[in-house]
A and B are shown apart, each in its own frame.
Chain A
């Protein structure tokens, strides 16, 4: 999983604030995925993006959550008006090409805690 950089590693927010999670994929990777992990559970798919396009956002809540992967810069997962239930580890993964799950590299995650 070397190369996928996520920041911050830990993020504390109060209810109602906004959380912005950043992910820089492995250099040269143009496919980015976001997953969420609740304590003692497996990862749950949220959204799949390619450069400047959202390909599949079927796992992302329709309200308060948004994601982007601009032409330049990192992918951003944005959570508006956070609630306690948003507390989780958020993992970003990237892949180089069209068989994404063959070589899916995960970052170390951002642990979001909502007070």
Chain B
């Protein structure tokens, strides 16, 4: 099946630093999503991207949908301690279902972010 390669696996940074993480796939996706998961909780949607080349911001977060539709990156600027958590990319593959896309998401393996004050 389709897989998403997410990197890096983990990052340990100082407060105030910028962070970048990315996801790549050998297959195309119709939608890219970025989630944050805190320990013992479900993922929370941060940013959704719907078109190739799209660049979207949400506060200190910026994400882009790669032009080939096979990759996406997430940047976090000026990190703060509450940014700690696991960040997941997720893609919606093309196929049947509504709008030409399936209803299931393929998740990356996650990037663990630790921020030292």
> Which A residues contact B (CB, under 8 angstroms)?
1, 4, 31, 33, 35, 40-45, 48, 55-56, 58-59, 91, 93, 98-104, 106-109, 111
Contact = CB atoms under 8 A, between A and B. Distances in A.
Interface of B: 4, 6, 31, 33, 40-45, 48, 88, 90, 92, 97-99, 101-110
A39 B15 CA distance: 27
B42 A106 contact: yes
Contact of B92 (A4, A43, A48, A101): A101
Contacts of A104: 45, 105
B42 A91 contact: yes
B88 A102 contact: no
A42 B43 CA distance: 10
Contacts of A43: 43, 88, 90, 105, 107
B88 A33 contact: no
12 contacts: A1-B44, A33-B103, A41-B110, A42-B107, A42-B108, A43-B107, A56-B97, A93-B42, A100-B98, A101-B92, A104-B105, A111-B40
Given A41-B109, A55-B103, A56-B104, A1 B98 contact: no
